Amino acid sequence: MMNQQTSLKLINFALWIAQILLAASLVWSFFMKLFQPIEQLSLMWPWAGQVSPVLITLTGIVDLCAAVGLIFPSVLRIRPRFTPIAAVGIILLMVCASIFHILRGETSVIGFNVIFAFIAAFIAWGRFKKIPIPTK
């Protein structure tokens, strides 16, 4: 049976993997929303051609802020309590995105929103529990 120290290290490793993967997905979304033409975006995300370009830009900026909040506070050890707060913000973002798609009759596309919300919930749980971030 694993001792508590080993368990904490494994959970911390899983939390970092989750944080990196979720942040990378959000950064990718940011770049797509801010640097791809609307016509190209709407091929991937049909809703993008049917809403204001300002909404697309705002959601891209929110994605970037969420990614930064997941990684930098913990890495830099400057206010690491912001990491779980960012994770809760991502949960709220994914709930809003799911509602947006449900209201548009696009329930088949909320799978990623649900998965991202669960990953963010895992991060929030782990970082609120004060799973220590190893110094080396």
In tens digits, what is the pLDDT along the chain, a chain of 136 residues? 568 778 888 999 999 999 999 999 999 999 999 999 999 999 999 899 999 999 999 999 999 999 999 999 989 988 888 999 999 999 999 999 999 999 999 999 899 999 999 999 999 999 988 655 555 5
Residue with tokens 């959000």: 26
Domain ranges of the chain: 4-128
Those residues with Cβ within 8 angstroms of residue 72's Cβ, 6 or more apart along the chain or in another chain: 78
- For the entire predicted model, the pTM comes to 0.88
Helix, strand, coil share of the chain (percent; to 5): 80, 0, 20
